[in-house]
């Protein structure tokens, strides 16, 4: 299917725009570690049902299993772990600003490791899209409800998260370069090793507590976590893998990073924020960049 990778990447951005708000609300209520572990367990449940009911086969080679496992550990344990701390310290808007560096990290890693060379107009499209995203999220009131003393720490967490997510995509691309893999199967293979690593770390750090008891005492946090788990790890990660399997890593990462643009109407509706002229201009710039990536 023409432009399958690009379309999948845009769908991923829609899913991540929803999950960013859901997980931010949940993380502030019950802590980022609890949300991070719980969302992967819930997503695994959704994925197992999908794979078993639809009869998808686990026909991966040993090296594909290894690459996907490493992708999950680096991207979901390391990358998302730091991103969730960023959500908790500086909120969704600033976190997504810093995470807009993922396309740059991804494109550079793909160039040096995978030998992917993006055309001149592809680079122009990436730069335009990233510039538009930056304008949208770089606003004075982006973190008005968060303690300013946490800002530097939160930004550092987000930078580490961006590097982890970019590296995770590279390992996933290694697996897809060996042969086709069903998106839901790939996501399941990616998530399970992440849980195996993350849960013992969370448990023995004494920071996880009892998730069932935690969520029983805050049912609204569980609703946010459930919603975020379905649209994020279940749908979002699956379509992100479909995206990188069918287009350049740098282009897929750029399109997926447009979540802050898609977040605008959600933020306006949920947080009652007014859309500034800068946000509108940034949206037009990002859309121009997206158009170039689709035409190139």
Rounded CA-CA distance 231/79 in Å is 18
Please tell me the pTM assigned to this model.
Answer: 0.82
Residues 171-223 pLDDT 10s: 999 999 999 999 999 999 999 999 999 888 887 877 677 888 889 999 999 99
Q: What is each CA distance from 285 to 49, 127, 131, 169, 280, in whole angstroms?
A: 40, 10, 7, 26, 9
Residues 209-243 pLDDT 10s: 788 888 999 999 999 999 999 999 999 999 999 99
Using only C-alpha atoms, the chain has a radius of gyration, in whole angstroms, of 18
- Write the DSSP symbol of residue 247: S
pLDDT band at 142 (very low <50, low <70, confident <90, very high): very low
Task: Output the pLDDT for position 274.
Answer: 73
The residues, ordered by sequence, that sit 6+ positions from 109 with a Cβ below 8 Å of its Cβ are 166, 167, 170, 249
SS3 assignment, position 26: helix
Q: Where are the domains of the chain?
A: 4-124+151-259
């Amino acid at each position: 299917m023409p432009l399958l990778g690009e379309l999948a990447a845009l769908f991923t951005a829609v899913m991540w725009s929803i999950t960013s708000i859901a997980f931010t609300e949940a993380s502030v209520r019950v802590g980022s570690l609890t949300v991070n572990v719980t969302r992967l367990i819930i997503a695994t449940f959704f994925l197992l049902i999908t794979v078993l009911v639809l009869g998808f086969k686990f026909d991966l080679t040993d090296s594909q299993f290894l690459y996907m496992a490493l992708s999950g550990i680096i991207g979901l344990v390391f990358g998302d772990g730091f991103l969730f701390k960023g959500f908790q310290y500086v909120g969704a808007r600033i976190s997504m600003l810093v995470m807009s560096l993922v396309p740059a990290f991804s494109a550079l890693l793909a160039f040096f490791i995978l030998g992917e060379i993006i055309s001149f107009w592809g680079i122009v499209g990436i730069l335009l899209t990233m510039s538009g995203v930056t304008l949208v999220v770089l606003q004075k009131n982006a973190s008005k409800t968060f303690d300013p003393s946490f800002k530097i720490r939160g930004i550092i967490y987000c930078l580490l998260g961006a590097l982890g997510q970019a590296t995770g995509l590279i390992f996933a691309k290694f697996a897809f370069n060996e042969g086709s893999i069903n998106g839901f199967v790939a996501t399941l293979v990616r998530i399970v090793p992440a849980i195996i690593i993350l849960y013992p770390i969370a448990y023995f750090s004494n920071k996880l507590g009892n998730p069932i008891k935690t969520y029983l005492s805050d049912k609204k946090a569980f609703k946010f976590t459930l919603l975020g788990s379905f649209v994020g790890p279940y749908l979002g990660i699956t379509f992100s893998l479909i995206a990188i399997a069918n287009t350049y890593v740098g282009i897929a990462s750029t399109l997926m990073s447009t979540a802050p643009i898609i977040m605008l109407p959600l933020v306006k509706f949920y947080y009652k924020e007014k859309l500034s002229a800068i946000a509108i201009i940034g949206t037009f710039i990002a859309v121009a960049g997206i158009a170039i990536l689709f035409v190139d």
